[in-house]
Amino acid sequence: MRDISEIIRQRRSTRAPFDPQRRIPEQDLRQILEAAGWAPTAHNMQNFEVIVVDDEAALAAIGAIRSQPSRTFLRENYRQLSFSEDELRRRKTGLLASMFPPAWRTPDADAEHAFVGRAMQNCPTLLIVVADPRKRAPASEGDALGVMSLGCVMQNIWLAAESLGVAMQVLSAFSAREAEHELRRILDIPDPMKIAFACRLGYLDAAPGGYLRVRRDVEDFTHRNRYGRGGIA
């Protein structure tokens, strides 16, 4: 069995196409979903439901949804980009600009509509996690604890998938208003449930292309006893 620290380090966002003919074994899918169920949530409120989409017709309908990233997303995404590997290594945060379409690589980008299927890339299984806003931790301003709980659900899903050799990518395409509206219609998502996040699961269709991954060193983000004081050996 792989060590948990290895699983954490090897976990990555897989942007390559998946093999649409290779299905996730039912026992592995169940193990991933059980990991989601055991995620810590504030007051154990379990403020989520998971829609598993693996029907070919449903996946095709979702892939045909048209979506356009907002100008706010494109502008703020640009601030996180590095335009060379050396720059990314120095910054230790963010992503390479080459990982995004050319139209997204300027601060005043105005991306065209694209089909969600371009992001899904033939995935055999799509998970849609929806949240119930009526379930809220006591005195949680802006439902901050509910959002944290959903982050724990995502992390559990991701680590369980990684441990089983299942590739995963979180999809942001459904955050656009028109895309969310269409997804709700296709999957009969009732009010007041809200789409928290979506992720595609599958197996790579070919050998993955490598990309530079960076993280800050422990000394870069830790403070001992008071902010601004280091001392982590």
User: Where along the chain do its domains lie?
Assistant: 4-68+113-211, 69-112
**pLDDT (tens digit, 9 = 90+) per residue, 108-129?**
877 666 778 788 888 999 999 9
Helical packing angle, 177-187 and 56-63, nearest 10°: 160
**pLDDT (tens digit, 9 = 90+) per residue, 7-37?**
999 999 898 899 989 999 999 999 999 999 9
Could you tell me the pTM of the whole model? 0.91
Please state which architecture CATH assigns to domain 4-68+113-211.
3-Layer(aba) Sandwich (3.40)
Whose CA is closest to 16, among 173, 152, 200, 172? Answer: 200
Give 224's Cβ-side CA count (13 Å radius). Answer: 6
